[in-house]
Amino acid sequence: MLLHNPESSVGGFADACVVLREMCEAGFCKTWGLSTWDPRSLLAADWEIPCPDVAMVRAGLTVPVGILDAVDELVDRAQITGLWGMAPFAGNADDSIWQTVDTSTFLVSGQQCSALQAGVAAAFAIPEVTRLAVGTTDIEHLAEAVGGSRLEVNTETVTAYRSLLRERATVSAGAPSRKDQ
């Protein structure tokens, strides 16, 4: 059972987690976890929760660095051992950006694939997740997603990408606004 969007009710987050753990212990569900689009508000609250079995978070090249860093912090703070991803294309795998950006640069060289497949592979690494939830009404997209799950990602490229995102966020945060110039 997944607690969906706990960031929408931060005040009840810890209590909800306790109830889900109790439901597992009582045999009403086998495992529990949380599904969060943006965990930053959860991290601002003071809470202690039982360790979830899994967390499902945004994954892929469209996830902002602030959310990626918040996911890392949530995993550490809540001692989460199972991390799943969702929304690798921010809800639109047909967006022209996926034909514009060379997503294959995130792969170990020599692999033949489509841009969608390379994007799926990158989503398994940004952040590192073991499963990926995708939604589609197109069977060809589903087949491509399965193919992408079998590709090998270049971890050095992923590390460099995340570093570049952090640098950009730092520069953007420190840049004067137009009215200050």
Reported as a single tens digit per residue, the pLDDT across 46-103 is 888 999 999 999 999 999 999 999 999 999 999 999 999 999 888 787 788 878 888 8
Higher-scoring residue by pLDDT: 180, 41 = 41
Average pLDDT over residues 27-35: 96
Torsion of CA 117, 121, 122, 128, to 10 degrees: 160
Q: CB 162: neighbour CB atoms within 10 A?
A: 17
CA 81 to chain centre: 14
| Domains in the chain with CATH codes | 2-180 (3.20.20.100)
pLDDT at position 141 is 85
pLDDT at position 174 is 60
The encoded tokens of residue 171 equal 């520069």
Reported as a single tens digit per residue, the pLDDT across 144-179 is 999 999 999 999 999 999 999 988 877 666 655 444
pLDDT at 44 over 70: yes
Task: Give the Cα separation of 131 and 83 in Å (integer).
Answer: 8
110: exposed, middle or buried (C-beta count within 10 Å: 0-12, 13-18, 19+)? exposed
The encoded tokens of residue 68 equal 């990626």
pLDDT at position 172 is 61
pLDDT at position 66 is 93
pLDDT at 181 over 60: no
Task: Give the Cα separation of 3 and 61 in Å (integer).
Answer: 25
Q: Are 84 and 148 in contact (CB under 8 A)?
A: no
The encoded tokens of residue 78 equal 């809540």
In this prediction the pTM is: 0.86
Strands 54-58 and 33-36: parallel
Tokens 């940004």, residue located: 126
